[in-house]
Every structure is written in C-alpha cells, then in structure tokens.
Structure 1
Amino acid sequence: MRFLKLLYLFLVETGQSIWLFLTGKKKLLGGKRTMAKLILSTGNIVSGGPSIIRKPGAYRSNLELTNSLRSNFLAAQEDYAAVAADEAQDGKLHANGDVENGAVKSNGNALHVNTATGGRPPVSVWTAEQDGALYVPRIDWSEAGLQEEPSQYSITVKLFFLPSASVDRRAQFAKEALDLVLKELDAPAVDLLIVSFPGMSFEGDCEWEADRHNAIQGNDEEELATWAAIEDLHRAGLAKSIGLAEFGSEKLARFLKRVQVRPTVNQINIKNCCNVPPPLSKLAKEEGIELLAHSDCTDILPKGTLRELLGQGLGGAGVLADPETGAGGLKGDLAPQWVVKYTAVVRDRGVIENKGYFAGAELTEA
C-alpha cells in the first residue's frame, strides 16, 4: 500500500462519478467526465473592496461583481506572496506539506495545478480545497460574522441561476449558496431571499410592450419546480420571506395560481423601458406584493467573463491553464452555475455593514 499516496473520494452530482487521486494522477470511475467545483468570493466589499466607478445610466451589478472578484483575487495573492517566497525552494513550493511528482500537497490534500504562474504566487497557496470544492480565494472562516447580533440587521440575498446551470440541480445550488452566506455572516437566517431566473427581462419601447414581451419569457414549469425548493428553504426557517425578480403581470398571475408560498417581493428592472407597467402595479397591489426596482443583470457572470477572470491573461488570476499552450493551471470547460449577492443593513441606522458575492462554477475535464 506504500504506492498509494492519496485516496480522495469525491462524489459529483448524484454520486455516480468518483475521483481517485493515485500517485498524483486522476482516474475516473462510472464513465463520466471528471468535474471540479469552484467557489469564488469577493469578501466584504463595503470594508475592503475596490472603489467602483459608477457611470450614470450604465452601472450594473455585473461590474461590481467582476471588479470585486478581481480585487479579492489580487489581494489574496499579495497576502500570500511573502509566504510563497519564504517557502519556495529550488522552484518547488512546500505549502503546509510536500511536493511530490509535480503535485503540491496543501494540508494533506493533493492540489493538481501547474505552478508556472508567470510571477503570481502558486494557486495552491492562495486557494484552498474544502468540502469537495476549490475556494478561490481561500476563506478564513474565523473572521466570519457581523459586528452585532444578527437580529440587529436586515439581511437580503439575491440568487441568480445562470443559463449554464442544470435545472435539476437548482435546489442543490440554492442550498449551497444560502449556506455560504449564512456561514459568512454567522447568521441563522436571512430576512429576504430573492430568486432570479435566466432569460427574464423588462425591455421594450414602453412599459406596455415590455410587459407583453415578459409574458412569454423563461419557462413556467422550470421556474415552478425551482420555486418548490425555495419554499423548502422558507419552511426550514432559513429565509423568512422569499421573492422573485423580473416577473411581469401575466407571468406573475400564472405563477401565483400554482405556488404554495407566495412571493412577498417582485424586483423589476425598468431601466430599458419607462415606468412600472400599470397591469403589474395593479396586480401587485391586489395581491399584496411589494414591487422593488433594481439594476442587476440577469446573466450576471457570463462564461467568457469568468474564464477571463480566472485565466492567464492580463488581469487574470492564473487559476486556469492557457487555452493555447495548456500550461499554467487547471484545464477543462468552465461553466458558471450561480451567483448569490448578499447585503446586511443595520436596522437602526440604515447603514450597509456587509455586502458581497459568492459564485459557483464547474470545470469539466474530458
């Protein structure tokens, strides 16, 4: 058994795929392609995030997300650069462990990444494997929590399901995303959880046209199936209230007839039309649903943007391999699955104390 350096069982999706890390090599059982789960985070962008330049009429949350992720990656690399310099020896890094057969061992786990990072600290230094996922950057959970008791805050969370996410796994993604927020804020529950589905918008020459176009967007059956999982989070006491985003009058009316737990909020982005459509305003008033304006993008983290953030190019984090040479990092097809945005506001003062994002993605290797 001496040849067995590490046995790492990692269940993917339904548990049918298992990774075996043997002598520094991955093997696949079950006939599926290997997949790695990535968790990206911005940290608290209120206290330590970048200064975002907001252009009037053009600012949206995808700029805040991408800028904040890039800033957090860079900060983590700088924080661990001194550690990497001290521990580097003969071109090999000993990160809380050993280097054997080209695989860096960090905290006893094999991190199979190429450390040719073009001047950046090796990826294994500023990221961490935990609970079957690669955290980019690594998170010091001992620093988690709010300054006061959670009851002193109004916590709002918005969950974006991205186009590349499997509908069948949305319940899993919702639970993962909410658990991360609760762990980051050290809170037992959030006050409001808003769900954003892909392919939904309010766009048109006027509010009436935008409302008509919205009626045929999305997929009612998929959204209702996902909402059942959101209702479960509400019943479990993890989300005190639940809401929707980008539902027009016709779509919302159909939705309300078929759900068990009704949404308390409907967020809409009317930047690309004019005003709130009168039919939607009337329906919301009759049904006791609060209408809130927002400036978020539905496709908040496109696939190309994520690959650029994690790639080897200028401003990239160096996590992914160069697509042309295959050198420098992890290889495979990258698919963003979800993004969650959270905000903690001090109730008595109306001040945002903590705001940030998590994002989930999967890297599939043939």
Structure 2
Amino acid sequence: MTQIILSTGNIILGGPSIIRKPGGYRSNLEFTNSLRSNFAAAQQDYAAALQNGNGNSQPQANGNGDENAGGSWPATEVWTAKEGGTLYVPRIDWASAGLQEDRAQYEITVKLFFPPTAPVQKRGEYIKDALQLVAKELGVADVDLLIIAFPGISFEGDCEWEADRKNATMGDDEEELATWSLLESLHEEGQIGKLGIAEFGSEKLRRFLDRVRVRPAVDQINTKNCCNVPPPLTKLASNEGIELLTHNDPTDLIPAATLRDLLGSDAQGAGVLDAEAAIVPAWAVKYTAFVKDRGVIENKGYFASAQAVTKEEKAAAA
C-alpha cells in the first residue's frame, strides 16, 4: 500500500514554465484544475531538464511503461518523488518553499476535509500529516485558524429552517468530539491559534458547545441549497461570540472517482495509478497565507492524501 500526497503548489503564482490557474469558483474545481496544472508543469519542467541533460528529445514513457495518447508523458519517476512508502505527486521543491515576509505579517488559515472513507481512528495521524505539510510549504511553525469539515454534514432543504432541522441529525457527535479533542491538544500546544467547524446548525452547535473545552471561533456554512443562514443559528452564534462565515466548498472535496481521473493512465490522467489499483481518499487540506497590512493573499494551495492499493494487495487482503 502506497500513500500518495498530491499538491497544487501556490496557485496564486506562476511556475517555471506555465501559469498555475486557480480554475473554477467552487473549491472542487479549483482543486482539480490546479492539480492538473501542477502535474503538467512538473512533467514539462522535469522532462525538459532531463532532455537538456542527456540530449534526448524523444517522448518519455510513464511509470507503467506506456505512453499517453499524445506520447508526451515523461517517466513517472522523473516528475514525482518516492520517499519510503509515500509518493509525492508531483515532487516538491522544498528549497523554494516559505513565505516572503516575517511570520507576524500573515494570517494563515487552514481548512481540513475528511472524506467518508477516512477511518476515525486515523484522524489524529491525518491531522498531524496535513499540518506538517502546510507548515513545511509555508515555512511556519503554527497556523492562525484551522477549520475542520467532518463528513456527512451539510445544509440542505427547501428553506433555511428545514436545512437547520435536518442538520441536527447529521454526522456523528461522538466521532466529531473525539476528533475535536485532538485539535484542542494542538491548540493548547500553540500549533493552532483558533479552531473552527463547518456546517454546524443551531441544534448541533448547541450540543457541541456543551461538551468541548476549546470553543470554536468560527462556523462556516454553505447556504447554496437553503438561501440564508438559519435565524436560530445566527442568534446562537451571536450570543456565543462565534463568527459565522459562508463558503462554497463541496461536502466531499476528494471523491475516489476524481482521484482516479486525475492519476489514471488514460489520456486525461497523470499516468501514476495502475488501471487495476484501488484509490482510497484519506484527507484534503486548503491553506491560505494572507498578508495583513497589504490585504492580499500571497500563498494559497491544496494538499491531499490517499492510499493506493494494488491488485495483489487487494487479493492478499481478501
């Protein structure tokens, strides 16, 4: 089993050969389009470097020994990096990572997404992995705000009142509280300044507040299916000093089908994943570094993690 780490790089800036475009308005489009752009840039840059080094201008085969429809894939090992049991897609130039100004000049926000396939008992490991990657990418030791998006929670209904009522029964309170306790520990250690949640309606938030040590500073709500923030939630948040924010992130940022399309061996894929391998999403994270005195975002990007299971590994586990 191989852990795959996908990265977009800084989608605000252009890379060595092409401009990384942020893609569509919704985060899932921005995420997938930015990954495709980063893959293409890495393939182009590392293939060019290889050709300049050995004078070979012929198309390279992918890691499965095949060429894509255009015959332009470089070998997978050229533009990805394998470190132990982890494959970085694409390889990351950590030497060029980091922010341009002092840490105090930035407001760093991280949103962590757990798909339904992420085992609850692994969430502590996943949180640390995601934070370590963001910290290494930005060259920092802490983040100002971490918002966690639990699986199975949304605002859906014909109106905000119905959406709030339905939300009260979504998710799993005990699993969410167990995961929150892990974040509380990181907050108390100074790795996270403030904690936030996503898609918590009035009843669900009230139950949550009654049982946590560190109260959420932010509650993000996606109102695309119910038009407005429910009045009971507005009142509760105001009384409790919680900032309500709206967003356009999907409920599931990294479905397995999307990852297979991105990594597969057909003409639209990156040629990383064998046709018979299974891909299991683990987590995804979106991060932004906002320069406070200039009012601009200097660095924004995504990381995601998934487990690739070969045909032989699936058979052995059966």
Kindly indicate whether residue 175 of structure 2 is the aligned counterpart of residue 219 of structure 1: no
Q: CA deviation at 1:113?
A: 4.3
Counterpart amino acid of residue 132 in structure 2: D
Once residues 4 and 186 of structure 2 are traced to their aligned partners in structure 1, the CA distance between those partners, rounded to angstroms, is: 23
Match of 1:299 in 2: 252
Q: CA deviation at 1:52?
A: 4.4
Once residues 67 and 306 of structure 2 are traced to their aligned partners in structure 1, the CA distance between those partners, rounded to angstroms, is: 21
Give CA deviations for 1:128-185 in whole Å, capped at 9, x if unaligned. Answer: 0125311000001000101101110100000001111111101100110011001100
Match of 1:41 in 2: 7
One of 317, 338, 351 as aligned partner of 2:270 = 317
Kindly indicate whether residue 198 of structure 2 is the aligned counterpart of residue 245 of structure 1: yes
> Taking every aligned residue pair, what percent have the same amino acid on both sides?
61
Once residues 87 and 253 of structure 1 are traced to their aligned partners in structure 2, the CA distance between those partners, rounded to angstroms, is: 64
Match of 1:342 in 2: 287
Counterpart secondary structure, 1:250: helix
Aligned pairs for 1:202-213 (under 5 A) are 202-213=155-166
Give CA deviations for 1:62-103 in whole Å, capped at 9, x if unaligned. Answer: 0000000000000000001123435598x9x9xxxxxxxxxx
One of 132, 135, 155 as aligned partner of 2:88 = 135
Counterpart amino acid of residue 284 in structure 1: A
Once residues 50 and 147 of structure 1 are traced to their aligned partners in structure 2, the CA distance between those partners, rounded to angstroms, is: 19
Match of 1:70 in 2: 36
Q: Is the 8 A contact 2:23 2:29 kept in 1?
A: no
Runs of 4+ in structure 1 deviating by more than 4 angstroms, as ranges, are: 86-89
Q: CA deviation at 1:321?
A: 1.9
Once residues 139 and 132 of structure 1 are traced to their aligned partners in structure 2, the CA distance between those partners, rounded to angstroms, is: 16
Q: CA deviation at 1:230?
A: 1.0
Give CA deviations for 1:189-210 in whole Å, capped at 9, x if unaligned. Answer: 1110000011111111110000
Stretches of structure 1 that go unaligned for 5 or more consecutive residues are 1-34, 94-111, 324-331
Once residues 230 and 161 of structure 1 are traced to their aligned partners in structure 2, the CA distance between those partners, rounded to angstroms, is: 14
One of 20, 23, 30 as aligned partner of 1:50 = 20
Q: Is the 8 A contact 1:115 1:123 kept in 2?
A: no
Match of 2:107 in 1: 154
Larger Rg: 1
Q: CA deviation at 1:218?
A: 0.6
Counterpart secondary structure, 2:161: helix
Match of 1:355 in 2: 300
The RMSD of aligned alpha carbons is 1.9
Match of 1:116 in 2: 66
Match of 2:222 in 1: 269
How many residue pairs end up in the alignment? 301
Match of 1:32 in 2: none
Counterpart secondary structure, 2:305: strand
| TM-score, normalised relative to structure 2 | 0.90
Higher helix share: 2
Kindly indicate whether residue 179 of structure 2 is the aligned counterpart of residue 255 of structure 1: no
Q: CA deviation at 1:322?
A: 3.0
Aligned pairs for 1:95-110 (under 5 A) are none
Once residues 159 and 138 of structure 2 are traced to their aligned partners in structure 1, the CA distance between those partners, rounded to angstroms, is: 40
Residues 148 and 171 of structure 1: is their aligned pair in 2 closer, same or farther, counting only changes over 3 Å?
same
Residues 88 and 235 of structure 1: is their aligned pair in 2 closer, same or farther, counting only changes over 3 Å?
farther
Counterpart secondary structure, 2:275: coil
Match of 2:98 in 1: 145
Residues 147 and 228 of structure 1: is their aligned pair in 2 closer, same or farther, counting only changes over 3 Å?
same
Q: Is the 8 A contact 1:84 1:122 kept in 2?
A: no
Match of 2:316 in 1: none
Once residues 52 and 133 of structure 1 are traced to their aligned partners in structure 2, the CA distance between those partners, rounded to angstroms, is: 26
Once residues 42 and 147 of structure 1 are traced to their aligned partners in structure 2, the CA distance between those partners, rounded to angstroms, is: 19
Counterpart secondary structure, 2:271: coil
Q: Is the 8 A contact 1:38 1:134 kept in 2?
A: yes
Match of 2:27 in 1: 61
Counterpart amino acid of residue 321 in structure 1: D
Higher strand share: 1
Once residues 245 and 83 of structure 1 are traced to their aligned partners in structure 2, the CA distance between those partners, rounded to angstroms, is: 43
Q: CA deviation at 1:355?
A: 0.2
Give CA deviations for 1:104-133 in whole Å, capped at 9, x if unaligned. Answer: xxxxxxxx9433243300000100012531
Once residues 26 and 175 of structure 2 are traced to their aligned partners in structure 1, the CA distance between those partners, rounded to angstroms, is: 26
Stretches of structure 2 that go unaligned for 5 or more consecutive residues are 314-318
